[in-house]
Amino acid sequence: MLDMEGAENYPQSLDDCHKLINHMAVEIEHYKALYEQLQRHRYGQRSEKLSQDQLDLFAELLDENAEKESQEEAITVPAHQRQRPKRKPLPEHLPRERVEHDLAEEDKVCACGCTMRRIGEEITEKLEAIPAQFKVIQHVRFKYGCKACETGIKIPSLPPMLIPKSIVTPSLLAMIVSDKFESHLPLHRQQQRFETLGIDLPRNTMANWVIVIAMLCESLLELMKQDLLQAKLIHADESLLRVLSEGKQKSYLWYYYGRIAEKQVCCIDFQASRHSIHPAKFLKGYVGYMMTDAYSGYGEVIKHEKITSTYCWSHARRKFEAIPQPKKGSNKVTLAMEMLNLIKELYRIEKEIKDKSPDIIYQYRQEESKPILDKIKQ
């Protein structure tokens, strides 16, 4: 028996049926695209794969002395070609200790009876590790007194110390701070390492030292910030930081990077939240350009300061890359694929000019990049 409840919502004509079918077809395609996107998110590569062209656009943010990828030499074998990594030479700045190996005198006699002469040498280098060494510096101060009147004793003053009345020296303090913040080695792990060497350095003592040195560095950070605010362009970004505490509140490191002539300045501001008040406070009074992702928290800065906002093509690219692509073997070229190719061209151009002077870079961008940007805008 046909249920006629809600029959007034059914199509009343053939045209209405066609409209409903077309509408359902569009919805089906939409949900298919969402399904494919979820499948890629769940079973595809988790990490976003950036090409070297993309990384080169921000090459100045990276350490200029960062290790380059291993050069590869080709070895031809009968069936195919294999790639074997070529070992890099050991750094030239490391000291060398020469250990000579010579033949025994009887081995220097040739089969013909003549004594062989040295014609050269072959050097094989090995990397030796020297464990960390500690020593105690004794500051010996001679005391003087007068036996005649016995009015007092004179003793020279100690040289200035970073943290008076403590056993820490600048080298030890630099080691603790570097291991904690650069190598991410917590203080309790450092305490265990010192204990294996027979040195008693409690964690709370090292924590107090870190707090004191942080207070001493505040003036240096303020000078760096003043330099940073002179840059024409500032890159800003924030990243989540897990902090050991009683609560589960998220903390963040806010990164600000700029370049003044040949000088690079990078300031890191630790805050307990991702609120827009933090960049607004840090960049107060800045005039220039600021490159960020699309996080709305930077809008507060742009609204109140004389800042022109710029954005990163890497972030824009992600939206087009997330759109489902045609299956392999298909000759179909979608608008998303066309956009990805145009963005790839921008990165190719940046790779070609990354080592050029600013004037050449500007001219090249006007001639090569601007037409591509015009196509993207259309």
Digit-coded pLDDT (tens) for 201-240 = 999 999 999 999 999 999 999 999 999 999 999 999 999 9
The Cα 236–Cα 308 span in angstroms is 13
For residues 255 and 312, the answer to whether their CB atoms sit within 8 Å is no
For residues 235 and 257, the answer to whether their CB atoms sit within 8 Å is yes
**Domains in the chain: boundaries:** 164-216, 220-311, 314-378
Q: Given a cut of 80, is residue 6 above it in pLDDT? A: no
Digit-coded pLDDT (tens) for 316-359 = 888 888 887 777 777 777 888 899 999 999 999 999 998 888 88
pLDDT score recorded for residue 224 = 94
Digit-coded pLDDT (tens) for 256-281 = 999 988 789 999 999 988 999 999 99
Digit-coded pLDDT (tens) for 144-186 = 998 888 788 899 999 998 898 899 999 999 999 999 988 989 9
Question: What's the predicted TM-score (pTM) here?
Answer: 0.62
pLDDT score recorded for residue 61 = 46
Q: What are phi and psi of 233, to 5 degrees?
A: -135, 130
Alpha helices, DSSP H, located in 232-334: 277-282, 299-304, 313-321
Q: Given a cut of 50, is residue 55 above it in pLDDT? A: no
In the three-class reduction of DSSP (H, G, I as helix; E, B as strand; rest coil), residue 256 is classed as strand
Residue owning tokens 């809600």? 6
Digit-coded pLDDT (tens) for 61-81 = 444 444 444 444 455 555 656
Query: Helix axis angle, 218-228 relative to 203-216, nearest 10°?
Result: 40
Query: Helix axis angle, 370-377 relative to 335-353, nearest 10°?
Result: 160
For residues 354 and 363, the answer to whether their CB atoms sit within 8 Å is no
The secondary element (H helix, E strand) that includes residue 220 is helix 218-228
For residues 360 and 353, the answer to whether their CB atoms sit within 8 Å is yes
Q: How many CB atoms lie within 10 A of CB 364?
A: 15
The Cα 284–Cα 278 span in angstroms is 10
- CATH fold label, 220-311: Nucleotidyltransferase; domain 5 (3.30.420)
